Structure 1
Amino acid sequence: MRRGIAASALVVALAASMAACGSSGSSSDGKADGPVSITYWDTSNATNEAPNYQELVKKFEAANPNIKVAFESVPFDQAQNKLQTAMGAKGAPDAFRSEVGWTAAFAKAGFLEPLDGTPAAADAAAFQPSLMQQAKYQGKTYGIPLVTDTLGLLYNKALFAKAGITAAPKTWDELKTDAAALKDKAGVDGFWMRAGDGYYAMPFLFGEGTDTVDAAGKKITVTSPEALKAIDTYKSMFTAPGTVKADVTADSYAHMMDAFNAGKVAAIIQGPWEITNIYKGSAFADKTNLGIAAVPGGSAGKSGAPTGGHNISVYAGSDAAHKAAAEKFAAFMTSAESQAFIAQKNSTLPTRADAYTPEVKGDPGIAGFQAVLPSARPRPELPEYSSLFASLGTNLGKIAQDQAAPKDAMDTVATDYAKLLPGFAK
């Protein structure tokens, strides 16, 4: 998982960067001398997704001949640290694609330009309200939702039918029963759970009516009875009949996806960002064979998954001319037309209702995830929230491999959280 942000250090770095950094193509007073050239960092998949964003950039430049965009692909797993470094020194992009969990932290550090009242936020009312809320910090808007996502239960309909399963499981216990039936009757592994990744474990916590922390009450909750019950259920998904043993190798993600795409495992927990790759798999040459359902619920009778996705944000350290160009660019990239284009090309979920055209909804993957979006839970306005996944993931990996008892591991997580959130009670 990505490392958390040390806000105090970032604020100091920002002060230096604001004094040291300038942007090309403009004079010192922020007035453009001619065409403005802005830099945009894209964190989408460089092979499958970025080319389609580059096509949008060309359309933007054609419609705005006085603005040029330098498009740079930055690997997602490196982007947070690269952005943190660049915005705290030199070389920061004027606009960038930011994971929703980074927005509050970067805004707290003073790195992001407020977008309220700018062209970037002109269509704010058109976006899903919860997604706009995730783009805010202390009442101000610091990002425009570009794409959204959540986790769902993805399953192979043909294998389910072969095992005599007629509907997607609604609880984790039902999923374990189905996994055993799939192994016995279809001859494949029934379920593969991603091990050692805190983000993928959140549905277990939500299913027990809890979270890693109570942000509003300023309380650490990973050691609560509800959380420990959730972690016990999580652990059982690696040992129940028909489930795959925990894989914590460096290539574990690829192993899981390869097995699912080839029809060697019948169900996984995954997000829409993998849809285009899944369609390339031999098991899903017929796209309609991909089943998508809400993640199973826990004993509290609740089903819930984290809301993910990406915003476009504007760097506060750019001069006025570059900010204005970047704001116009953000508006174009998040328009209904642009989102519909990207959805059809990348099978990603738009963030505004008017982008769900008949053509977009014709993609079974998009339609399937759109149906489960109501069960997604927005992240709290807590700058450190994304950083909570690191310790959780590390200790979940130990639990999944039976290297640590759940209670002991969660006590360690709580101790780590107390350091990260000094104002929170354990």
Structure 2
Amino acid sequence: MRQHLFRNGRRPGFRYGRTAAAAVALGLTAGLTGCGSDGPSHTTLTLVAADYDVDGGQSSKEYWAKLAARFEEKNPKIDVDVHIEPWTNVDRKVQDMVKAGKAPDIAQIGAYADYAAAGKLYNVDRMLSLQTAANFLPPLAKAGEHRRTPYGIPFVASTRLLFYNKKLFEEAGIEKAPASWDELRDAAEKLKEKTDAEYPFALPLGPEEAQAETMNWLLSAGESYTVGGGSYDINSARNIQTVSWVKTNLVDRKLTGPVAPAELNRKMAFAAFARGEVGMLNGHPSLLRIARKAGVDLGTVPIPGPKGTPYNAMGVADWIMAFKENGNRVQAGKFLDFVFSDENVLAFAGQNNLLPVTVSASQAMEDDPKYGDLKNFLEPLPKSVLPPVGKTSWAAVSAEIKQSIGKAVAPGGNPKAVLDAIDRVAEQADIKSGE
């Protein structure tokens, strides 16, 4: 989801374990002790986690501080040494630690597959309690599998909805939000003709998150990047038709605004929506906070499908995982069982306008009126389709989509040729990874 979602300036890590000072005298270190239940009497777990605070505050730091303190109180023989890193740096930080032979015990980052393929992660089923492992929403748990073995644990999730500006819709005389592609095109035409909206429909296909925006469209038409999460099929006939429709009906009609889709990043599109310059765009839950803080009167509906209800909705997850290097399987498992209590899952998801990843916490959010804004996002999550994050080749394929897909809808662009080229890159990446 980091796709996602949350970026801000760097702040230093922090430490909460009672014996952590000695452990980190030379910076980030591995856990102090050996493995399993036969290990020494006291253990310090090192946790590196991402900063989700979009406002530049301390909410992520405070969340982990309180959680670690409560866990240590219940488990006096285990300390938790916590380091918070911005999304712009957290994946690289963990990568550098692993390369240096100082892997953290637990990392909460954006991807797990490379570490799983290298044999560096604990199997989730050998670490979590049965109750915890069975409580994850099925599509999220499935996405955490590498070669059918679970290594990635979903930490938080989100889905995507179509956002629209109610004030601009009223000015344009649009009485209801679009439910089909044709209705979306027609609404964009009215917004262009009758309002000052700079972006009747904002289409962010820039390199920040083009792979997610594209997947929204592919899924709404009933396909995706892969066949059942297995082999790539990026240039399928239906995918070509989908991208061609977007080009012909939105971009060529100049309904996507002054910035070319290939140059429009998600962050830019969200900021324009918050300024009241966008009639419609696809967005995730964090846009609710951004737009409402700016005073935008907005509505959300499912992303339209070709003829109405979309065939599938996209889900996105960020991941937490435990490294084998320090041998602290049992202690890490205890901590992660604690992390995924309903109280903790709801607290983090709620404060960040994200979705819980467990069945019980999702039900609790559904039943609690204070999470009313998130219920439309919560509804499609149990049946959502995630990107093929369990494939080690996905990183290379995602990067290629980010760099190339905007060309498919550009003036003179050829959707088939672009998707053919991306598919060739995907096939080569699969061969290289042995998948």
Task: Provide the residue aligned with 1:323 in structure 2.
Answer: 329
- Distance of 1:156 and 1:259 partners within structure 2: 11
Q: Which residue of 2 aligns with 1:334?
A: 340
The CA RMSD measured in Å over matched residues stands at 3.3
2:262 and 2:74 map into 1 onto residues whose CA distance is: 47
1:160-201, CA deviations, whole angstroms, 9 ceiling, x for partnerless residues?
233333332122221121112223334323221111312210
> Residue 413 of structure 1 aligns to which amino acid in structure 2?
I
Structure 2 matches for 1:200-211, cutoff 5 A?
200-211=213-224
Structure 1 residue 265 corresponds to structure 2 residue 278: yes
| Residue of structure 2 aligned with 1:71, choices 60, 64, 82 | 82
Question: Which of residues 372, 379, 384 in structure 2 aligns to 1:376?
Answer: 384
Q: Counterparts in 2 of 1:103-252, with a 5 A limit?
A: 103-119=112-128, 121-188=130-197, 189-196=199-206, 197-214=210-227, 218=231, 220-236=232-248, 237-247=250-260, 252=265
- Cα distance in 1 for residues equivalent to 2:412 and 2:119: 41
Q: Which amino acid aligns with 1:214?
A: V
Structure 2 unaligned runs (5+)?
3-27
| 2:45 aligned residue (38, 42, 58) | 38
Letter paired with 1:225: A
Q: 1:86 aligns with which of 87, 92, 97?
A: 97
The answer (yes or no) to whether the contact 1:292–1:365 under 8 Å persists in 2 is no
User: What does the per-residue CA deviation read over 1:402-425, in whole Å, with 9 as the maximum and x for residues that have no partner?
Assistant: 37422222232122122202299x
Q: What residue in structure 2 maps to residue 351 of structure 1? A: 357
Q: Distance in 1 between matches of 2:186 and 2:92?
A: 42
Q: 1:357 is matched by which residue type in structure 2? A: A
Residue 113 (structure 1) shift: 0.4
Distance 1:276 1:302, change over 3 A: closer
| Range 208-217 or range 171-180, more displaced | 208-217
Secondary structure of the structure 2 residue equivalent to 1:311: strand
Are the aligned partners of 1:339 and 1:350 in contact in 2 as well (CA < 8 Å)? yes
**8 Å contact 1:87–1:111 — kept in the other structure?**
no
Conservation of the 8 A alpha-carbon contact between 1:246 and 1:401:
no
Are the counterparts in 2 of residues 83 and 92 from structure 1 also a CA contact under 8 Å?
yes
Amino acid at match of 1:292: T
Distance 2:72 2:292 in 1: 32
- Return the alpha-carbon distance in structure 1 between the equivalents of residues 254 and 36 of structure 2: 68
Between the aligned partners of 2:412 and 2:203, the Cα distance in structure 1 is: 17
Q: 1:132 to 1:215 in 2, by over 3 A?
A: closer
Partner of 1:23: 30
2:9 maps to none
> What's the secondary structure of 2:124's corresponding residue?
coil
TM (norm. structure 2) is: 0.80
Q: Any idea what the Cα deviations from partners look like across 1:123-169, whole Å, max 9, x if unmatched?
A: 22222122222222344322333211122212223332333333321
* Partner Cα distance (1:128, 1:95) in 2: 21
Residues in 2 aligned to 1:130 and 1:216: alpha-carbon distance in whole angstroms = 11
Q: State the Cα distance separating 1:396 from its structure 2 match.
A: 1.2
Contact kept in structure 1, 2:179 and 2:303, CA below 8 Å: yes
Q: Is the 8 A contact 2:339 2:345 kept in 1?
A: yes
For structure 1, the residue ranges without an aligned partner over 5 or more in a row are: 3-20, 284-288
Assess, with a 3 A threshold, how the Cα gap between structure 1 residues 404 and 73 changes in structure 2: closer, same or farther: farther
Displacement of 1:292 in angstroms is 2.0
Does the 8 Å CA contact 2:121/2:322 hold for their aligned counterparts?
yes
Task: Please point out which of 394, 402, 406 is paired with 1:397.
Answer: 406
1:275 Cα offset (Å):
3.4
Contact persistence 1:195–1:246 (CA under 8 A): no
Separation of aligned partners in 2, 1:175 and 1:207 = 13
Give % identity.
24
Q: CA deviation at 1:121?
A: 5.0
Distance 1:69 1:144 in 2: 19
Q: Select the residue among 359, 363, 372 that pairs with 2:371.
A: 363
Matched residues in 2 for 1:88 and 1:108: separation? 15
Structure 1 counterpart SS, 2:121? coil
Q: TM-score, normalised by structure 1?
A: 0.81
